[in-house]
Amino acid sequence: MSDSNFDVIVIGTGIAGLAAAKVAAQKGLRTAGAEQLLFGGLVVNINELHGEIEGSGTDYASNLMMETSDLGVESLNETVSAIAKNGDKFTVTTDAGTHSARAVIIASGARLKRLGVPGEMEFEHRGVSQCADCDGPMYKDEEVVVVGGGDSALQEALVLAHFCKRVHLVHRGAKFSARQSFIDAVAAQPVIQTLWNTTVDAIEGEDMVKKLRVKSADGKTSEIAASGVFAYVGLEPNVECVPAEIKRDATGRLTTDASLQTSLAGVFAAGAVRAGCGGNLIDAQKDGEAAGAAVAKLLGK
């Protein structure tokens, strides 16, 4: 069983976590980043970023990861299962052992929500996907369905339009919540067909996805022939390891004060796991940087 001591442990190595670790290390803190999956988070699935940060998501995350490594941040490829106050320190328990830290930054991010309909889990990796950049070429000249009306849904529909014969964009509302540039791009793309005020009832097929059953606002059901389904209906925070006493908002995200400290002194939150963090990549980066600086200030650095 491992047993190591740090000034701060950052849980999660998405953009918020990497940014937090970078600042903490720059301030002279012995820092570790704990991550069960690959670094970078959801951004590594995006080939072309839009907004204040441009380029490839993988390249952006890789550069940030290399910067933290050069600063001496220790990488813990472990799954965090618990965080507990232990005197004036914290014990972080993982599948590989325990680690001690004077402070903790929770930057565990969020995962894409499921539709929660019959067939979704059954056909995962057999037509149900969450990455258009990764899987789009598999659906060349076929018909697919994208579910959602925000930035991610429209952006992924535009990616799929480069490969697919038809992209059915299913949205439960009467208008999109995405940024106007994506809305304009979708409107100009003849391959994309939008179904307004419509929800998915079921995903059906045999060995692979063959069709979806959808329902319109008037209760009428119909079928869409499609070989792929991509759902982007929001995010839910990764908070399984977070102590129950830490306060959260109605969506399960962790609430913080102005310094990004949670209701448990010494534990901070940054990025998509935190209530109030914006939805853009630059927001996650700024959150992480602020949390790293706040921890350094708390610890006298």
Confidence (pLDDT) at 61: 78
CA distance 258 to 262: 10
Please tell me the CATH superfamily of domain 2-111+235-298, with its number. Answer: FAD/NAD(P)-binding domain (3.50.50.60)
Amino acid in the structure at residue 15? I
User: Residue 171: what pLDDT?
Assistant: 98
All structural domains of the chain with their residue ranges: 2-111+235-298, 114-231
**Residue 1: per-residue pLDDT:** 40
> In terms of residues, how long is the chain?
301
Q: How does pLDDT run along the chain (301 residues), one tens digit per residue?
A: 445 899 999 999 889 999 999 999 999 999 999 988 766 565 655 555 556 665 665 777 788 889 999 999 999 999 999 999 999 999 999 999 999 999 999 999 988 899 999 999 999 999 999 888 889 999 999 999 999 999 989 999 999 999 999 999 999 999 999 999 999 999 999 999 999 999 999 999 999 999 999 999 999 999 999 999 999 998 899 999 999 999 999 999 999 999 999 999 999 999 999 999 987 888 999 999 999 999 999 999 7
Answer whether 2-111+235-298 and 114-231 agree in fold: yes
Looking at residue 65, its pLDDT comes to 87
The superfamily in CATH containing domain 114-231 is: FAD/NAD(P)-binding domain (3.50.50.60)
